[in-house]
Amino acid sequence: MLKEFRAFAMRGNVIDLAVGVVIGAAFNKIVGSLIDDVITPLVLKPALDAANLSHLNDLTFFGTVNMECFWHLSSTL
């Protein structure tokens, strides 16, 4: 059974899959960083300026619900 697995692993399929997983993980980190550090601030800054807010925590819905309590809830889940 070990010889069969070794033959399967050396055919290249497992090695190709491992390389794909590593490249996919790196690409995921790059895209996540691009979204978090570049795109979100570019979109969020003008929206906050238009709403006369300095921080996202100052945002309220319907004049009474402060979004800060939701941010804390979502970070603990």
Report the 10 Å Cβ neighbour count for 14. Answer: 12
Poorest-pLDDT segment among 21-25, 35-39, 61-65: 61-65
Q: Report which of residues 55 and 70 the model is more confident about.
A: 55
Q: Which residues contact 59 (CB under 8 A, 6 or more apart)?
A: 51, 53, 66, 67
Nearest Cα residue to 67 out of 51, 55, 76, 77: 55
Q: Which residue has the higher pLDDT, 30 or 49?
A: 30
Say yes or no to pLDDT of 35 above 80.
Answer: yes
Structure confidence at residue 66 (pLDDT): 61
Q: What is the pLDDT of residue 27?
A: 93
